[in-house]
């Protein structure tokens, strides 16, 4: 039989490379086939989630940036400056985190989803039409964010006018100046040519892009144990593969962007410049608790403990 797997990016993007590895593993180790649906073939991110919950798709890769509107606790990934910027520390957090590997699967299950893995997709950078070194530079900037309330709060706290939009409207929105900024990992800025319609790249160190791969829970629960184990093993292989694949990717993508558009500016905020953005993060954390209550508090506390366990 054939299992259908949709994701939010192109086949050569990080989610596509993960999906391709997963497909190879499943097909090498079983009689099942995987049919991959890259971004755009079945609609926007919200559409592929609906199709998975309805059982039309068996697997979906959707980022908390979108899942946060369905599962409020998933917005914890948008508390700025929570995740470490150091790559090995970050990877170890994703491998060992109790929040990710034990708590979130229970919460996702309530929405009919079997959470198989979460993985990082790279440091998020802002790309804008005017340079950004301070929150004041974001004043009056309509800044596109994924459609989740906490990300809206973040950019409000950063001083911008957050504009939640599905991915498909971002390039055109920048081109026509309906929005003047957006954030994403560097590989995606390159592959989607966001740099053509913005002129300045800013590393504020405020986040790393987290994504998640899930299965329809009824489908997964209905599989024989050997298939479930085969899927979990394929996920583990794809997980380690994608971490290795991403080593140096941000720098390589940036180099290609600069080659294609030498006029683009690249700014890494100094610690001093980061300070006001970091201060804003405290408000965002408080908003997260307001939105999610006791359940969110437990997630945040455990996440901090998980991060502490991988620090130094």
Cβ 151 to ligand 6CS, closest distance in Å?
10
> In this structure, are residues 128 and 202 in contact, taking their beta carbons and an 8 Å threshold?
yes
Residue from the set 8, 123, 137, 306 that interacts with ligand 6CS by CB under 6 A: 8
Cβ 197 to ligand 6CS, closest distance in Å?
14
CB-wise, 185 or 296, nearer to ligand 6CS?
185
Per-residue contact flags (x/-) with ligand 6CS for residues 47 to 86, judged by CB under 6 A: ----------------x-----------------------
For residue 146, state whether it binds ligand 6CS (rule: CB under 6 A). Answer: yes
Cα dist from 206 to 66, 197, 260, whole Å: 18, 22, 26
183: exposed, middle or buried (C-beta count within 10 Å: 0-12, 13-18, 19+)? buried
Residue 180 DSSP one-character state? -
39-45 LR contacts (CB < 8 Å, sep 24+): 39/7, 39/8, 39/9, 39/10, 39/167, 40/168, 41/6, 42/6, 44/166, 44/167, 44/168, 45/8, 45/166, 45/167
Give the 3-state secondary structure of residue 199.
coil
For residue 121, state whether it binds ligand 6CS (rule: CB under 6 A). Answer: yes
Residue from the set 99, 184, 216, 302 that interacts with ligand 6CS by CB under 6 A: 184
Residue from the set 104, 209, 239, 288 that interacts with ligand 6CS by CB under 6 A: 209
For ligand 6CS (CB under 6 A), the number of binding residues is 11
For residue 45, state whether it binds ligand 6CS (rule: CB under 6 A). Answer: yes
**Chain residues in the site for ligand 6CS (CB under 6 A):** 8-9, 45, 63, 121, 146, 167, 184-185, 188, 209
């Amino acid at each position: 039989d054939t299992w259908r797997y949709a994701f939010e990016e192109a086949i050569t993007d990080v989610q596509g490379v993960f999906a391709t590895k997963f497909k190879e593993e499943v097909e090498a180790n079983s009689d099942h086939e995987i049919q991959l649906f890259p971004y755009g073939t079945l609609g926007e991110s919200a559409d592929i989630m609906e199709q998975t919950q309805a059982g039309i798709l068996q697997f979906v890769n959707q980022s908390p940036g979108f899942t946060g509107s369905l599962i409020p606790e998933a917005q914890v990934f948008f508390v700025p400056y929570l995740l470490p910027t150091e790559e090995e520390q970050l990877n170890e957090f994703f491998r060992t985190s109790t929040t990710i590997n034990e708590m979130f699967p229970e919460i996702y299950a309530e929405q009919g989803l079997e959470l198989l893995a979460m993985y990082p997709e790279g440091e998020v950078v802002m790309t804008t039409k005017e340079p950004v070194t301070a929150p004041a530079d974001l004043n009056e900037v309509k800044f596109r964010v994924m459609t989740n309330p906490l990300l809206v709060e973040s950019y409000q706290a950063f001083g911008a006018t957050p504009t939640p939009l599905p991915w498909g409207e971002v390039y055109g929105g920048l081109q026509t100046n309906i929005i003047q900024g957006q954030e994403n990992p560097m590989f995606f800025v390159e592959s989607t040519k966001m740099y053509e319609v913005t002129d300045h790249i800013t590393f504020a160190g405020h986040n790393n892009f987290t994504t998640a791969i899930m299965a329809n829970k009824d489908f997964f629960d209905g599989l024989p144990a050997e298939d479930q184990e085969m899927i979990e093993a394929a996920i583990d292989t794809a997980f380690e593969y994608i971490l290795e694949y991403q080593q140096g990717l941000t720098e390589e993508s940036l180099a290609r962007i600069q080659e294609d558009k030498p006029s683009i500016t690249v700014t890494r905020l100094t610690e001093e410049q980061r300070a006001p953005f970091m201060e804003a993060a405290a408000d965002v954390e408080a908003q997260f608790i307001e939105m999610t209550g006791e359940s969110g508090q437990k997630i945040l506390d455990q996440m901090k403990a998980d991060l502490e366990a991988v620090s130094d």
